Chain A
Amino acid sequence: METGGSLPRPASPPGQVAGEQVHWEGLEETPEFKELVRARWRFVAPATVFFLAYYFALPLSNGLFPSVMRTEVIGHINLAYLFALSQFIVAWLLAFFYIRQATRVFDPLAEKVRQRAARGR
């Protein structure tokens, strides 16, 4: 049984730290790893910018264009409520696309790096 107190990996003597550093930097330099990082950021960066922009558009337009947002679309359901509701749909869709991308693209690439690490480069 573990009693806590241990770091995720045991403390290593200085020489070993240098050796390990070479190991990890080596993995960082592999084409598979570079491709994984590039693929991930290519999705995550624009998706993050988009969801932040879309989200803050809601309070901003409520505050800046109140009369437009109070426009009633169906019965007394107004634009402000429909915009808020659309945030749920957008969040679910983005999550769906991320997970699909992760399963199709990121996971196989990560697996390649893990195999390389297991072979000891």
Chain B
Amino acid sequence: MSITLTLFLIVVGITLVITAWAARRTRTTVQFWAAGRSIKGWQNGLAIAGDYMSAASFLGIAGLIAFNGYDGFMYSVGWLVAYLTVLFLIAEPMRNTGKYTMADVLAYRMSPVPVRSAAAFSTVAVSAAYMMAQMIGAGSLIKILLPDLDKNLRPYFDWAIFGTKLDPSIALVGLMMMIYVIAGGMVATTWVQIVKAVLLMGGAILLSLLVLFYFNFNILSFFDKIYSVKDKATGLPFTSPGILYPYGKTTIWGVDKALVENVSLGMALILGTAGLPHILMRFFTVPNAKAARASVAWAMGLIGSFYIMTTFLGFGAAALIGKANICAQVVAGFKCAPGLKPNNNMSMPRLADFLGTHFFGTTGGEFLLAFIAAVAFATILAVVAGLTLAASSAFSHDFYVNVVRTHIFHGQVSEGEQVLVARVTAALVGLLSIWLAAKTGATANVAALVAGVAFVIAASANLPAILFTLFWKRFNTWGAVASLVGGTVVTIWLVAVGPGWTLPAVAHPEFPLQNVGIVAIPVGFALAIIGTLIGDLFKADRLAEVKFHEIDVRAQTGVGAEASPVAV
């Protein structure tokens, strides 16, 4: 196992050096937050793909397919189609009207104090939920690389915070990542994301080719093998829908519950992306709307290709290793070590181990496992950096500088003070997500978690606020705050009282669905409308309507858009 660990550390080390190098090139605020607005379309496309494809895509989807067959592939489909929402409605207007953060666009029309505070709240919520899943993913990798770590550290972690004992691997790797991201100046620069996107695509292509090679490039015999894998509970072959959420079991509101879960999941997947703060921030790094459009096209090409490859990665793990044998440590013949529970987040690394061993012997398996684990780790670290940046900029730029210091305690804010606030925010969000990860448990699937919480908050809180700000003349501060705060609170509440992802499943949850989007997203939009109408009654916010004409013209045409220092 020592070769694996050494090689893992080398690859991770190279990534860290590149990050540090990129950090030194970042000087001014506009460089720090928007990369000088001089990024080319294709570069930004790669960076969006890098920011977007997290542990959820790389480890999570493969795991869902490996354990549930076809139903896991629905995540791949939804997460690509989501980019049409971004391309048609969000990318260009955002670039034309924005500056650094999502809240800048909202504050254009709305009263800055309430709307920036509310946006900071929803952004921190999305980031913490997203990061919780990344922590679980990173923890899974460490559990594979150092199977005895949990056992050895357990005595030191035998205390509870609010009734939850921390998971040693997750806590350790989570803290290390946070220290690195915070001390390194929190760079999630475009170059880091580009390097990471290339590594991730390379890893996925390599494993897909090896899976195909195993079947002599015969897709039909690959599918024959998948078909021969049967789900124990339903008896269905893995090629068939209905394993993750079995059809015809229970009904809810008079409809098959599995159908409702799948539609609800779909809503979160395709509407959530357009409200993700760390993705929206990417559109402020390009010179103009045309480049924003081009970057979405590049991102869609890369992301779509990757998601099609999850067919080989996920089904490959199901067919070649099998659900029962995917866990932190395997013994001879790729069987789970005694006493260990399967963990679907480990499907990708286990598949790498299996294929490497099959084609190149034991050492080959160790090498390939190390490589894939390192790629996954770099993926997670880059996403954690991006999320940290989004959360801390929302808090320090939107809330602290533009609300607290501008309107409550007047005064000039030094860069040092701003960066300090950003770092403290980042540390708090990091600790919160480590705790949430421990509470959810290390075996919860990371893709299901991201889609189930972060994407629902983004779709129910952020998306209505952004869409209505750009396109609805009567929309006002009341509506924006109602959806940003209300959407976030409703989502968190429904998830908290719902069945959740912790195993064993809760028997009779107060809310029956795992995927709460089908309720939370309409509620978010309704709150935006009701809030606006109430605000109208009080004639509280005349400026929002006056300013609509300006944002309308600017969003559509790019008149007066924040200029790129290079292009001007």
A and B are interacting partners: yes
Q: Are A78 and B240 in contact (CB under 8 A)?
A: yes
Q: Are A76 and B239 in contact (CB under 8 A)?
A: yes
Q: Are A88 and B308 in contact (CB under 8 A)?
A: yes
> Which A residues lie within 8 Å of B226 (CB)?
76
Whether a CB of chain A sits under 8 angstroms from the CB of B550 is yes
Q: Are A88 and B304 in contact (CB under 8 A)?
A: yes
> Which A residues lie within 8 Å of B108 (CB)?
7-8
Known contacts A48-B88, A87-B80, A114-B558; is A76 also within 8 Å of B300 by CB?
no
Segment from B138-146, B289-297, B498-506 that makes contact with A: B289-297
What does the 1/0 interface line of A20-59 toward B look like (CB < 8 Å)? 1100110110000100110010001001100110011011
Whether a CB of chain A sits under 8 angstroms from the CB of B12 is no
Whether a CB of chain B sits under 8 angstroms from the CB of A91 is yes
Q: Are B549 and A44 in contact (CB under 8 A)?
A: no
What does the 1/0 interface line of B10-45 toward A look like (CB < 8 Å)? 000000000000000000111000000000000000
Nearest A residue to B225, CB-CB:
A76
Q: Are B559 and A27 in contact (CB under 8 A)?
A: yes
Chain A contact-residue range equals: 35 or more
Interchain nearest-CB distance for B233 vs A (Å): 16
The complex places the Cα of A44 from the Cα of B86 at a distance, in Å, of: 12
The complex places the Cα of A3 from the Cα of B290 at a distance, in Å, of: 28
Known contacts A28-B549, A62-B241, A78-B240; is A3 also within 8 Å of B414 by CB?
yes
Q: Are A5 and B401 in contact (CB under 8 A)?
A: yes
> Which B residues lie within 8 Å of A110 (CB)?
289, 556-558
Q: Are A62 and B293 in contact (CB under 8 A)?
A: no
Interface of A is mostly: helix
Whether a CB of chain A sits under 8 angstroms from the CB of B405 is yes
Whether a CB of chain A sits under 8 angstroms from the CB of B220 is yes
The complex places the Cα of A107 from the Cα of B292 at a distance, in Å, of: 13
Whether a CB of chain A sits under 8 angstroms from the CB of B99 is yes
> Which A residues lie within 8 Å of B549 (CB)?
21, 24-25, 27-28
Interchain nearest-CB distance for A52 vs B (Å): 8
The complex places the Cα of A102 from the Cα of B96 at a distance, in Å, of: 15
Q: Are B223 and A77 in contact (CB under 8 A)?
A: yes
The complex places the Cα of A64 from the Cα of B556 at a distance, in Å, of: 41
Interface of B is mostly: helix
Interchain nearest-CB distance for A32 vs B (Å): 9
Whether a CB of chain A sits under 8 angstroms from the CB of B475 is no
What does the 1/0 interface line of B277-316 toward A look like (CB < 8 Å)? 0000000000001100110110011001001100000000
Known contacts A88-B308, A114-B559; is A55 also within 8 Å of B405 by CB?
no
Nearest A residue to B31, CB-CB:
A1
Whether a CB of chain B sits under 8 angstroms from the CB of A15 is no
Q: Are A40 and B556 in contact (CB under 8 A)?
A: yes
Give the size of the chain B interface in residues (CB under 8 angstroms). 79
Interchain nearest-CB distance for A114 vs B (Å): 5
Nearest B residue to A55, CB-CB:
B81
Q: Are B29 and A117 in contact (CB under 8 A)?
A: no
- Picked from B78, B98, B297, B412, the residue with its CB within 8 Å of the CB of A99 is B297
The complex places the Cα of A4 from the Cα of B99 at a distance, in Å, of: 10
Q: Are A113 and B559 in contact (CB under 8 A)?
A: yes
Q: Are A84 and B74 in contact (CB under 8 A)?
A: yes
Interchain nearest-CB distance for B309 vs A (Å): 11
Nearest A residue to B218, CB-CB:
A75
> Which B residues lie within 8 Å of A63 (CB)?
241, 247, 256, 258-259, 262-263
> Which A residues lie within 8 Å of B560 (CB)?
9, 117
Q: Are A3 and B29 in contact (CB under 8 A)?
A: yes
> Which A residues lie within 8 Å of B179 (CB)?
none
Nearest A residue to B411, CB-CB:
A5
Whether a CB of chain A sits under 8 angstroms from the CB of B104 is yes
The complex places the Cα of A92 from the Cα of B223 at a distance, in Å, of: 25
8 Å CB interface, B41-93 against A: 70, 73-74, 76-78, 80-81, 83-85, 87-89, 92
The complex places the Cα of A81 from the Cα of B97 at a distance, in Å, of: 40
> Which B residues lie within 8 Å of A105 (CB)?
none
Nearest A residue to B397, CB-CB:
A4
Q: Are A76 and B224 in contact (CB under 8 A)?
A: yes
Whether a CB of chain A sits under 8 angstroms from the CB of B150 is no
8 Å CB interface, A70-103 against B: 70, 74-78, 80-81, 84-85, 87-88, 91-92, 94-96, 98-99, 102-103
- Picked from A1, A21, A78, the residue with its CB within 8 Å of the CB of B415 is A1
Q: Are B556 and A76 in contact (CB under 8 A)?
A: no
Interchain nearest-CB distance for B422 vs A (Å): 11
Q: Are A76 and B227 in contact (CB under 8 A)?
A: yes
- Picked from B87, B220, B224, B266, the residue with its CB within 8 Å of the CB of A98 is B87
Whether a CB of chain A sits under 8 angstroms from the CB of B486 is no
Q: Are A8 and B104 in contact (CB under 8 A)?
A: yes
Interchain nearest-CB distance for B120 vs A (Å): 13
Q: Are B224 and A88 in contact (CB under 8 A)?
A: no
Known contacts A63-B259, A81-B73; is A4 also within 8 Å of B29 by CB?
yes
Whether a CB of chain A sits under 8 angstroms from the CB of B242 is yes
Q: Are A33 and B556 in contact (CB under 8 A)?
A: yes
> Which B residues lie within 8 Å of A81 (CB)?
70, 73, 239
8 Å CB interface, B372-422 against A: 397, 401-402, 405-406, 412-415, 418
The complex places the Cα of A37 from the Cα of B387 at a distance, in Å, of: 34
> Which B residues lie within 8 Å of A114 (CB)?
557-559
Interchain nearest-CB distance for A11 vs B (Å): 10
Interchain nearest-CB distance for A73 vs B (Å): 11
Q: Are A59 and B266 in contact (CB under 8 A)?
A: yes
Interchain nearest-CB distance for B253 vs A (Å): 14
Q: Are A95 and B296 in contact (CB under 8 A)?
A: yes
Nearest B residue to A54, CB-CB:
B81
Q: Are A75 and B81 in contact (CB under 8 A)?
A: no
Q: Are A62 and B242 in contact (CB under 8 A)?
A: yes
Interchain nearest-CB distance for A59 vs B (Å): 4
Q: List 16 A-B contacts (CB under 8 A).
A: A3-B412, A4-B401, A7-B104, A8-B107, A8-B108, A9-B560, A27-B553, A27-B559, A48-B84, A55-B270, A59-B265, A59-B266, A78-B239, A81-B73, A113-B557, A114-B557
Besides the known contacts A4-B413, A55-B77, 4 further A-B residue pairs in the complex with CB atoms under 8 A apart: A44-B88, A47-B88, A76-B227, A92-B300
Across chains A and B, which 8 residue pairs bring their CB atoms closest together, nearest first?
Answer: A63-B259, A75-B220, A76-B227, A59-B262, A24-B549, A76-B223, A62-B241, A24-B550
